[in-house]
Structure 1
Amino acid sequence: MAVTWDVLQREWQEKKFRPLYVFGGDEPFFMDQAMDTLATSTLEEHERDFNLTVLYGRETDAATIMSEAKRFPMMAERTVVLVKEAQQIKDIEALASYVAQVQPSTVLALALKGKKLDKRKALYKALQKHDGVYLEFPKFYDNQVPAWVESQAQSMGLKMSGKAAALLGEYIGADLSRIFHELEKIQAFVGEGGEVSAKIIEERTGMSREFNTFELIKALAAKDIAQSYRIAKSMGENPKNNPVVVTLSLLFGNFSKALVYGALPDKNPRSAAAALKISEFALRDIARIAQNYPPPKLLRIVGYIRDADRQAKGMGAPHINDSDILNELLFKILY
Structure 2
Amino acid sequence: MPTSLRSFAATDRFVTEIASPSTIRPGYVLAGDEVFLYDRCRKAVLTALVPEGARDFALHDLDLAETSIFEVLDRAQTPSLMAPFQVLFVRGLKGLYGRGSKKEEFAAIDAYFRSPNPQALILFVADHLRIPADLRKMDYQDKERYERIRETLGEWCGMVELARVEEGDAMRWVAATAESRGVRFEQDAARELVDALGADMMMIASEFEKLLLYVEGKGRVTLGDVETMVLAAKQRSLYELTDAISAKDRPRALALLHGLLNASDGGEDAAIGHLYMLARTFRQMLIIAEKNVRDSRAIWQVLWQGFRMPPFAAEDLIKQARRYKSRRELTRAIRLVARADLELRSSPANKLLVLERLVLDLCTEPKPSRYEPSLQFAMEL
TM-score (norm 2): 0.58
Offset at 1:118? 4.5
Aligned to 1:5: 11
Offset at 1:243? 6.5
Q: Does the 8 A contact of 2:86 with 2:120 survive in 1?
A: yes
- CA RMSD across the alignment: 4.9
Aligned to 2:120: 106
Offset at 1:113? 1.1
Offset at 1:152? 5.0
Q: Equivalent residue of 1:54, what SS?
A: strand
- Higher radius of gyration, 1 or 2: 2
Unaligned runs of 5+ in 2: 1-8, 130-141, 262-267, 289-294, 296-310, 342-354, 366-381
1:227 partnered with 2:255: yes
Letter in 2 for 1:164: A
Letter in 1 for 2:49: T
CA 1:303–1:113 in structure 2 vs 1: closer, same or farther (change >3 Å)?
A: same
CA 1:4–1:226 in structure 2 vs 1: closer, same or farther (change >3 Å)?
A: closer
Q: Equivalent residue of 2:29, what SS?
A: strand
Q: Which moved more, 1:100-109 or 1:30-39?
A: 30-39
Aligned to 1:292: none
Distance (Å, rounded) in 2 between the aligned partners of 1:151 and 1:305 = 47
Q: Does the 8 A contact of 2:32 with 2:127 survive in 1?
A: yes
Superposed, 1:292-311 pairs within 5 Å as: 302-304=322-324, 307=327, 311=331
Aligned to 2:67: 60
CA 1:134–1:310 in structure 2 vs 1: closer, same or farther (change >3 Å)?
A: farther
Superposed, 1:173-188 pairs within 5 Å as: 173-188=198-213
Aligned to 1:137: 162
Letter in 1 for 2:252: D
Offset at 1:309? 11
Aligned residues between the structures: 289
Distance (Å, rounded) in 2 between the aligned partners of 1:101 and 1:157 = 49
TM-score (norm 1): 0.64
Offset at 1:213? 2.1
Q: Which moved more, 1:69-78 or 1:107-116?
A: 69-78
Superposed, 1:305-324 pairs within 5 Å as: 307=327, 311=331, 321=338
Letter in 2 for 1:20: G
Superposed, 1:192-271 pairs within 5 Å as: 194-206=219-231, 212-213=237-238, 216=241, 223-230=251-258, 236-239=271-274, 242=277, 244-245=279-280
Offset at 1:241? 8.7
Percent identity (aligned): 20
Q: Does the 8 A contact of 1:213 with 1:247 survive in 2?
A: no
Q: Equivalent residue of 2:78, what SS?
A: coil
Q: Does the 8 A contact of 2:171 with 2:194 survive in 1?
A: yes
Cα distance per residue 1:239-283 (max 9 Å; x no partner): 499465458879x99xxxxxx9xxxxxxxxxxxxxxxxx99xx9x
Q: Does the 8 A contact of 1:209 with 1:215 survive in 2?
A: no
Unaligned runs of 5+ in 1: 254-259, 261-277, 287-297
Cα distance per residue 1:204-233 (max 9 Å; x no partner): 324787994266379779852422343577
Offset at 1:60? 1.8
1:166 partnered with 2:191: yes
Offset at 1:47? 1.1
1:33 partnered with 2:30: no
Offset at 1:68? 1.6
